[in-house]
A and B are shown apart, each in its own frame.
Chain A
Amino acid sequence: MPDLRLVLTHTRYQFLEQLRVPISLVASAFFPAAAMLAFVVPFTGADPASATQATAGMMLFGAMSAALIGLSVSVAQDRERPWDPYLRTLPAGPLPRFAGRILTTMAGMLLSVAPVLLISAFLTAAALSPLRLALGIGALLLGAVPFMLMGLFIGYAVAARAAIAVSQVAYFPIAALGGLLVPLEVMPEFVRSLAPFVPSRGAIELMWAAVAGRTPSPVSLAALAAWTLLAAAAATWAYRRDEGRRFS
């Protein structure tokens, strides 16, 4: 596959750019680490099982930030720079740049969950075998796919200023409704009835299956798959529409 080398090239330079202006990485890492210290350490930190599950929730919270907010804002900003159309004159299709974005975002996610893992390891009773941790990170990357697609959709659909607002407005409710911030048990009834269908619920159930061996809810997994397809269709639509606009 001749494009593989180009995918790596695009990933490398996009990641370099992100590392040199690390503000979005810092932002992605800040919220989950702060929430970890504010909610998890004082309330569930002493119990190994609930501390582990809460840590998974915060990792997903951080990854969602990188996917939804980080990706949508960087796509929307890039679209406003003349560099973006220039790249389309280079001898490569859209794949290397697209794949580079996804891989860079994934790398950013892994960096942004590191503080959560450190806080969890040193300040709570959470315990994980290396195998469970690896499975959990795999589940995190898989579960984050629909959020990356949503980030691409927002980034290609609206201008940069709007992308910041839209992605943040989407981010907190989706995270809260899925029970990432506060356990669903303490939520009102209508939230609990809505939760299984929210994409963050399927993603967190996937992570809990990976780190704790819990059986995930089939309804939530099906909803996650449906959200992934929907977000993929929306992202493709927005990308084509954007190309169409620049063609015109």
Chain B
Amino acid sequence: MNTTTRRTLARTIEATRRYGDVLALDRVSLDIGAGELVGLLGPNGAGKSTLISLFAGLRRPTSGTVELLGGSPADPAVRQGIGVTPQETGLPEALKAGEIVSFVSAHYPSRRDRTDLLARFGLAGLADRQIGGLSGGQKRRLAVALAFAGDPRVVFLDEPTTGLDVEARRTLWEGIRSFHAGGGTVVLTSHYLEEIEALAQRVVVIGRGRVLADGSVQDVRDVVGVRRVSFAAPAVPDLPGVLRGSVENGRVHLLTTDSDLLVTELVRAGTPFADLQVRPTSLEEAFLTITSKEETRA
């Protein structure tokens, strides 16, 4: 990683956040450098949104430190340099798309041109439309556009493309890429590996409130690129490269990073089997695998 050579714009040092008895973030230390496009990847409840809310000044850490642009996120003057995306379900329905952009950008010393911003997120010509009259995808893009309204240095995008169709997703990606190409820093969360692959250079995998992996997209894909090989067989044969195995209703399920090798060895072992299936695991499964490795190591 060459992040140490960049100037740090945001960071947490041993940040822990509890909600009552629940530990949402567990001593997370993370540096976000100027000009980076960082993807936070993890299943629901992993702590991604909590981490974003610490950077956005919405919550304070239970212990540890959060720094933003050399100051504290709790300071409104510091937050002039950031942009955050609201949940689209909460946009004030009675206001018009253009009005909401003007309202948000009025909080910032420098602001993006409204027409240009709307056009960039595929909302050209909709400035006079009431938000209640926009489609779900249009609301989602408007919500993401709001993060950029104040011409920020860093944007924090929490699940920016959830619920969007492919085309709307690509429009949004273009908007995010062009901001990054202009020198902007982006931190986004997702539970889609492909979204992170399409946008991010650096991926931080978060699970159960901890940073499980931090590296390039390729590094992380190797870690989470786990496949599930399953077949019907009377017993579990001894095979190489199995991360995790289980038997359910006479079917053997094996998780592995190298399914080709595993299948070759399965055939070579001569064990009788039927109905072979190889499919990519869900991120959820991949995380469980990483997390359990983490735990056995600890």
Which residues from chain A sit less than 8 Å from chain B, CB to CB?
5-6, 9, 13, 16-17, 20-21, 81-86, 88-93, 246-248
Contact = CB atoms under 8 A, between A and B. Distances in A.
Contacts of B95: 13, 16-17, 20
B148 to A, nearest CB: 13
Contacts of A81: 89-90
B162 interface: no
B91 interface: yes
A246 B58 CA distance: 9
Contact of B77 (A83, A91, A246): A91
Interface in B98-115: 99, 103-104, 106-108
A82 B104 contact: no
A89 B87 contact: no
B79 A89 contact: yes
Contacts of A88: 57-58
A14 B86 CA distance: 18
B91 A83 contact: yes
Interface residues of B, number: 30
A191 to B, nearest CB: 41
B186 to A, nearest CB: 16
B86 A92 contact: no
A21 B132 CA distance: 12
Contacts of A16: 94-95, 99
A20 B57 CA distance: 32
A84 B80 CA distance: 18
6 contacts: A17-B94, A82-B90, A89-B57, A90-B76, A91-B76, A91-B80
Q: Considering residues A16, A17, A90, A93, which has the most beta carbons from chain B within 10 angstroms of its beta carbon? A: A90
B107 A86 contact: no
Contacts of B94: 16-17, 20-21
Which 8 residue pairs of A and B lie closest in terms of their CB atoms, listed nearest first?
Answer: A86-B86, A82-B90, A83-B90, A82-B87, A20-B94, A91-B79, A89-B84, A91-B80
Contacts of A85: 58
Contact of B104 (A5, A90, A246, A248): A90
B56 interface: yes
A85 B84 CA distance: 11
Contacts of B87: 82, 86
Given A13-B99, A16-B95, A248-B20, A90 B79 contact: yes
A89 to B, nearest CB: 4
Contacts of B107: 6, 9, 90-92
Contacts of B6: none
B59 interface: yes
Interface in B54-103: 56-60, 76-80, 82, 84, 86-87, 89-92, 94-95, 99, 103
Contacts of A13: 92, 95, 99, 103
B104 to A, nearest CB: 7
Nearest to A14: B92
Interface in B262-276: none
A235 to B, nearest CB: 22
B84 A86 contact: yes
Nearest to B146: A86
Contacts of B57: 88-89
Interface in B12-49: 19-20
Nearest to A13: B103
A21 B78 CA distance: 35
A90 B77 CA distance: 10
A82 B86 contact: yes
B257 to A, nearest CB: 38
